[in-house]
Amino acid sequence: MALFAKEEYLERLDKTKRRMADAGIDVLVVSDPANMNYLTGYDGWSFYVPQCVVVGLDADTPMWIGRRMDVAGARHTTFLPLSHIIGYPENYIQTRARHPMNVVGDVIKEHGWGAGTVGVEMDAYYFSARAYAELQKNLPDARFADADLLVNWIRLVKSDAEIALMREAGQIANKVMATAIARLEPGVRECDAVAGVYQAQMSGTREFGGDYPAIVPMMPTGEKTSAPHLTWTDAPYRSEQMVNLELAACRHRYHCPIARTAYLGKNPPAKLVKLAEHTVEGLDLTLAAVKPGMRAEAVERVWRRHIADVGLEKESRIGYAMGLNYPPDWGEHTASLRPGDETVLAPNMTFHMILGMWMDDYGFECSESFRVTEDGHECFANFPRTLFIKE
């Protein structure tokens, strides 16, 4: 029932174990829901309770450990045999008396790893300070190693099967952005425009449906464009204003983010039109420069030089690795297109390149999600790169 062939999961596990061996880790506790999905197929909205995948260096098959009521979901979505799906009882939920990580600690001991080196994802969203403290309590003889991002770095290069899903997400992204721009009108409430975006995200195309993106739609206008993470209100859009559209589509948890800027009205300021031209030109140029073998920082340099030529500069990060993910972020927290990032680009690495230029009272942004190919790049969506003017 898992989404990919079993061989693909085994290959991912093999890569994980090689990194574990290099880091001297005997057993890895994977708490990041995207990493759990990557290694086993597990997909469910259950990350609001502690759960993990346990990978033993000397074990053929990993174990899923989660809430007992989610065992059926693990059977449905993973390639694991039932013997490797472990449910903890309901009295471990939301109590100070015990914690699900106590069960995880016991399982690790039962498998003879209790005096070994235990890797944990120290900065993963759903691995709380208490989860770590409880695990330490149950494993007094273990050494702990920070294995944060160990699996994320493997995720950076996608398989062809993963790329196929990102192309589907790209097709949905085209519909999502088209819907957003169609819905934007002076007088339309922000919440109603966002409602249309959600509808498009989930309905997807005639051939395949959409999944919930890891971040909600962002469509700020007016003075709120300077506060990038505020969500929508009931206020109507007004005319002669610009709107930032930071959206995405998702297919089986694989994302295609897409950003554009629209102007509501007949008279976009000339300086905005000019800025849009420079930015789109820079996006075109920078994407065209992408090649395998190039460093991530070198991609950013192309952009920086371009805008310097027109007398502008911008804070440095212009993109980041992304793909499989869960709320609250679709970014993979590994490679970034920014100065100092020496990651060497390779085929099937996937990024979101987002170029945003913010002046005092106006701005413009445009983005593309793409993979690195054998000799360049391939964008997942196919949507005009321009300032959209809605008269």
Residue 244 found at the interface with its own copies (CB under 8 A):
no
A 10 A CB-CB count for 91 gives 9
Q: Distance between CA atoms of 19 and 30, rounded to whole angstroms?
A: 14
178 lines the binding site for its own copies (CB under 8 A): no
- Per-residue x/- track, 72-111, its own copies (CB under 8 A): xx-xxx------------x---x----x------------
Question: For strand 117-120 and strand 85-88, is the pairing parallel, antiparallel, or unpaired?
Answer: unpaired
Alpha-carbon Rg for the chain, nearest whole angstrom, is: 23
Note whether 244 and 218 are within 8 A (CB).
yes
In the complex, least distance from residue 4 CB atom to its own copies, rounded to whole angstroms: 16
Applying the rule CB under 8 A, the residues between 334 and 363 that interact with its own copies are: 336
The answer to whether the beta carbons of residues 252 and 211 sit under 8 Å apart is yes
Q: Which of 132, 295, 362, 390 binds its own copies (CB under 8 A)?
A: 132
Give the contacts of 95 (CB within 8 A, at least 6 positions apart). none
Q: Which of 201, 241, 261, 286 binds its own copies (CB under 8 A)?
A: 201
- Rounded to a whole number of angstroms, the minimum distance from the CB of residue 135 to its own copies is 9
Kindly compute the dihedral angle of the four CA atoms of residues 123, 128, 131, 133, in this order, to the nearest 10 degrees.
80
Q: Does 233 bind its own copies (CB under 8 A)?
A: yes
CB of 93 to its own copies, least distance (A): 8
Q: Which two tokens stand for residue 292?
A: 């395998």
Cα gap 263→244, rounded to integer Å = 9
| Contact status: 203 vs its own copies (CB under 8 A) | yes
Q: Binding its own copies by CB under 8 A: which of 189, 291, 295, 314? A: 189
Distance of alpha carbon 178 from alpha carbon 250, whole angstroms: 16
Site string for its own copies, 45-74 (x = CB under 8 A): xxxx--------------------xx-xx-
Shortest spacing between CB 217 and its own copies, in angstroms: 9
Measured CA to CA, the distance from residue 99 to residue 135 in angstroms comes to 9
Q: How far is CA 363 from CA 277, 307, 358, in A?
A: 12, 14, 4
Min dist CB 316 to its own copies, Å, is: 8
Please count the residues of this chain forming the interface with its own copies, following the rule CB under 8 A.
Answer: 72
Shortest distance in whole angstroms from residue 186 CB to its own copies: 17
CB 127 within 8 A of CB 121: yes
Residue 320: CB minimum distance to its own copies, A? 8
Q: Judged by CB under 8 A, which stretch of 6-14, 189-197, 302-310, 370-378 contacts its own copies?
A: 189-197
Instruction: Read off the DSSP letter of residue 75.
Output: H
To its own copies, the closest distance from the beta carbon of 376 in angstroms equals 27
What whole-number distance in Å separates Cα of residue 310 and Cα of residue 234?
A: 38
Give whichever of 13 and 74 is closer to its own copies, judged by the CB atom.
Answer: 74
Residue numbers 16-45 binding its own copies by CB under 8 A:
43-45
Q: Which of 82, 227, 311, 313 binds its own copies (CB under 8 A)?
A: 227
Best CA proximity match to 299, nearest among 288, 286, 285, 311: 286
Query: Binding of its own copies at residue 230 (CB under 8 A)?
Result: yes
> In Å, what is the CA distance from 251 to each residue of 47, 162, 211?
19, 10, 5
Q: Which of residues 268-297 bind its own copies (CB under 8 A)?
A: none
- Does 164 interact with its own copies (rule: CB under 8 A)? no
CB of 60 to its own copies, least distance (A): 25
